[in-house]
Amino acid sequence: MLKDADRIFTNIDGRSGGSSLAEAKARGCWSGAAEYLKKTPRELLETVARSGLRGRGMFARKTAEKWSEFIKRPSAFKYLVVSVNESEPGTCKARSLLRYEAHRLLEGCLIAAYICGIRRAYIYVRGVFAEEIEILENAIAEAERAGLLGMNILRTGADLHLSVHRGGEAYVCRTDSAMFRSMEGSRPMPDFGADGEKLFGSPVLVHNPETLCMLPSVLTRGADWFSSLGRAGNEGVRLFSVSGDVERPCLVEETLGIPMRDLIDKYAGGVIGGWQNLAAVIPGGISTPCLPREICEHVRMDYDSLGAVSSGLGTGALIVIGKSSDLVGILRRIALFFKNESCGECAVCREGCRLMFDLIDGIASGRGKRSDIGRLERLCEDTENAALCPVGISAVRPVSGFLRHFRTLLEERCRD
């Protein structure tokens, strides 16, 4: 278990005070800024590289690699966008993060922008987070007044203008190009055109807020400290949330590679009705395939271990499903989500998700036939092969995972 002294998010649960600058400073935010802004971006980049920090988003790329590539892109103007479009059902960490750790995020933005030579950054927050947006905007204003953002930060000559962009509610905005279109004021759809990966025509660096929040600690406490946490190749800590049929749903920071069972038992107070009552766990938001109890028993929460059991770490949001829950009903709900959230650009994803829902809906309500399960399998394969953007693939994975482990449940529901 992570030692309290090693925690990065010291206030993720909001127990140690609010998000004002003074309170944040008391918790250690911004403390090293004057120090590391004196170093050159190159030195800082090296530190980040040594820490082995990986992005906390979908692709889990090494942050330092991503940056060195980005720095090489020729353009006088570059943007940083923090994607807080937390739309993956089951996930709630960004919300707490904005509420209680806003200054940590701002500091992270500053570091990333400083290293990559960016002077304009946006935090893309989904519009329903009205309260959080207010907190964030206050935090930005405070930081600007204190000279921590804006022009000539702490008299080091570094500039960073930060603002909040309110998004709509589209799941597809997790795809970068769709998010850019949304920011530019058009309908969010993945854009594969020549300028698709640009925002307002300039190159953009996109980050998950969690990744950025790690940066201040990486720089102030050192790369070696960071890489000592977690396991080789899966260094560091990350936020996990546990919800569903557990005694105490929670949001915690832990090292990557913590056994799933520890997370559920030690932090969330265990499964309601005891471990024996566990039916399945969705390990990282609904787009990751669910895992049956036998696997949950010993699987570790990191990219590689979950990948080995054909699931994924996703957003690190565990959804615990007890035996009393209706698994097929949950699957139906998931399929409905994707049916509604496919952006509609490609026929494969749009129609595939719709048909998958129709089939599952039929089975769940007892109208289905056994042959429908075969069709469902075929559909999964089609959609996964040909979908245009990752959303289509995400939509298929929970269904194919379900078929892999719980096919009998579906068969029981069939008419014949």
3-class secondary-structure state, position 121: strand
Question: In the chain, how many H helices and how many E strands?
Answer: 17, 15
For other proteins, which stretch binds (CB under 8 A), given 29-37, 68-76, 256-264, 353-361? 353-361
Written as six digits, the tokens of 166 are 């309110």
CA distance 144 to 277: 52
The single-letter code of the amino acid at 66 is K
Quick one: which segment of 10-18, 112-120, 277-285, 384-392 binds other proteins (CB under 8 A)? 384-392
Q: Which of other proteins, ligand FES, none does residue 53 bind (CB under 5 to 8 Å by kind)? A: none
Q: Which stretch binds other proteins (CB under 8 A): 6-14, 112-120, 191-199, 224-232?
A: 191-199
Which residue, 169 or 297, is less far from other proteins as judged by CB? 169
What 8-state DSSP symbol labels residue 174?
A: G
Is 350 a binding residue for other proteins by CB under 8 A? The answer is yes
Q: Which is nearer to other proteins, 328 or 349 (CB)?
A: 349
Q: Is 389 in the site for ligand FES (CB under 6 A)?
A: yes
Q: Which does 339 bind (CB under 5 to 8 A by kind): other proteins, ligand FES, none?
A: other proteins
Exactly one of 190, 270, 283, 289 binds ligand FES (CB under 6 A); that residue is 190
Q: 316: phi > 0 → left, psi -120 to 50 → alpha, else beta; which?
A: left
Which one, of 389, 376, 394, 381, lies nearest residue 347 by Cα? 389
Question: Does residue number 356 form part of the binding site for ligand FES (CB under 6 A)?
Answer: no
Q: How many other C-beta atoms can be found within 10 angstroms of the C-beta atom of residue 169?
A: 12
Laid out side by side, the sheet with 278-282 consists of: 250-255, 237-244, 317-322, 278-282, 291-292
Residue 96 CA to chain centroid, in angstroms? 13
Shortest Cβ 317–ligand FES spacing (Å): 21
Q: Which does 192 bind (CB under 5 to 8 A by kind): ligand FES, other proteins, none?
A: other proteins
User: Collapsing DSSP states into helix, strand and coil, what is residue 106?
Assistant: helix
197 binds other proteins (CB under 8 A): no
Told to check if 86 binds ligand FES by CB under 6 A, we report no
Which residue ranges make up the site for ligand FES (CB under 6 A)?
172, 189-190, 342-343, 345-346, 349, 387-389, 391-392
